[in-house]
Structure 1
Amino acid sequence: MSEATPALSFPPLMSGEAVTGPEDPFETACKRAVLGCDAGLVVYNLAHDTLRAALVFAPEVPLTRAMAMLPTCGVGFQNALGALAPPEVAVHLDWGGAIRINGARCGRLRAAASTAAPNEEPDWLVIGLELPLWPKDEDGGAAPEDTALYAEGCADVEAPALVESWARHCLHWITRWEEDGSKPLHEEWRGLAHGIGEETRQNDLSGTFLGIDEDFGMLLRDGDTTHLIPLTTLLETP
């Protein structure tokens, strides 16, 4: 792939903006959101070794509920890659946003919003996607728990097609969430979730990952105490 980022095609209600070089599409999407861009803007940067994209939302619900867009975009990514990759490629999602391909970490999802107040309706919410296409070193020895898309049997998956597919599948799940509530999304995400029932550490707390509440908050059991860790704790400062 050349360094020139191609123009992509997005479904109705979505639009695209390509950025190049070192420009971070997540940061750019946050800036566009602050200036009042339309919801559905997809900002993307397709380098030879990394895919980065970000999707702008204009939620009409409190932040606690709006944060469901983080797992929504994770499910959208799994569906998108599943439609393009060989069937033996397994994609799972960490609660904290990490993406796993064939068990190893391969990129992440991230989030930022106009407010961090859980009960406030945010003016905007941005979900970012980062995916390494090629390993940083040839043998992967520097970070054996990390991988890259093309090292996992996905060399025929073209980055532009993957971004377009991600946008389409995200829109599908956004529509389902709006029309049918969180239950279908819950069921889909739980089938892809990594680490439920296992020991984990999140936000300086350690315990057993029991599952999620209705707003996708992590339920973490530490001895006799079950902690609820809201998705809002994952927000980054734009």
Structure 2
Amino acid sequence: MNRVMFPPLMSGHQVTGDEDPFLTACMKAAAGCDSGLIVYNLAPDTLLAALVFAPEVPLADAMTMLPVCAVGFQNALGALAPPEVAVHLEWGGGLRVNGASCGRMRAAASTSTPTEIPDWLVVGFELPLWPASADMGNTPDQTALYAEGCADVEAPLLIESWARHTLNWVNRWEEEGTKPLHAEWRGLAHGLGEETAQGDVVGVFVGVDEQFGMLLRDENTTHLFPLNTLLEDL
């Protein structure tokens, strides 16, 4: 077992083998565990972690924890990786390293009703450390962390850094609202100003609303996709 140190108000639970820490975190959350629990798996080729929240606001506002955790991840990796490594965030949770897809953020909650205060919310990430295939030329839009000049980034330290940076952004969100988070996220967002598709809707990704819902503008109107549409069904 690799020991990972967590900041105050957070605790860790390591799992091994094929156990998915995201699903384990959801089960522990549903059973009433404390918020701030991080379940993680230091697998040889993939790093997985999930953080449990106990929101005190309706789901529509609580879903801000998804971009909070994503920005926390970007800040964490940015602090540990070489300065030339670029880390960006897709609205839908995808992670980008040097422009290529490299893992994802994901979220689940006790409810999918935007106006309801959830009993729990879990946000996690999956990060490939090594490529699935030695021939990466077949998948130029897919990469892995250690294929992008980050071989010195140790997985336990990345989880520790993610915990610290995420906690910092949670505190800022509580004290200052969404404005600082919006400014930070917008500078990291992948695909802003570009044509993209969300379901059957194709349009230009023009930004996000106050609750980080995606704004997609086509020829006729601007469509809003709330963050809670990204919740996973367990």
Range into which the TM-score falls when normalised by the shorter chain: over 0.9
1:171 partner letter: L
- Name the SS for the 2:170 alignment partner: helix
* Structure 2 partner of 1:15: 11
Question: Normalised by the size of structure 1, how large is the TM-score?
Answer: 0.97
Following superposition of structure 1 onto structure 2, how do residues 33-182 of structure 1 map, counting pairs within 5 Å?
Answer: 33-182=29-178
* Structure 2 partner of 1:235: 231
Q: Shift of residue 37 of structure 1?
A: 0.3
* Structure 2 partner of 1:218: 214
1:161 partner letter: L
Counting aligned pairs with the same residue, the percent is 72
Runs of 4+ in 1 over 4 A off after TM superposition: none
* Unmatched runs of 5 consecutive residues or more in structure 2: none
- Name the SS for the 1:163 alignment partner: helix
Q: Shift of residue 139 of structure 1?
A: 2.1
What does the per-residue CA deviation read over 1:36-80, in whole Å, with 9 as the maximum and x for residues that have no partner?
Answer: 000000000011100000000001000000000011011001110
- Name the SS for the 1:106 alignment partner: strand
What does the per-residue CA deviation read over 1:145-187, in whole Å, with 9 as the maximum and x for residues that have no partner?
Answer: 1100000000000000000100100000000000000000000
* Residue range with higher mean Cα deviation, 196-205 or 11-20: 196-205
Q: CA–CA distance in 1 between the matches of 2:196 and 2:21?
A: 30
Q: Shift of residue 194 of structure 1?
A: 0.5
- Name the SS for the 1:188 alignment partner: helix
Q: Shift of residue 219 of structure 1?
A: 0.3
Q: CA–CA distance in 2 between the matches of 1:237 and 1:224?
A: 32
Q: CA–CA distance in 2 between the matches of 1:203 and 1:26?
A: 25
Q: Shift of residue 237 of structure 1?
A: 1.3
The number of aligned residues is 234
What does the per-residue CA deviation read over 1:113-157, in whole Å, with 9 as the maximum and x for residues that have no partner?
Answer: 000000000000000110000000112133221100000000000
What does the per-residue CA deviation read over 1:173-210, in whole Å, with 9 as the maximum and x for residues that have no partner?
Answer: 00000000000000000000000110001122111101
Q: What is the Cα-based RMSD across aligned positions, in Å? A: 0.7
Question: Normalised by the size of structure 2, how large is the TM-score?
Answer: 0.99
- Name the SS for the 1:128 alignment partner: strand
- Name the SS for the 1:164 alignment partner: helix
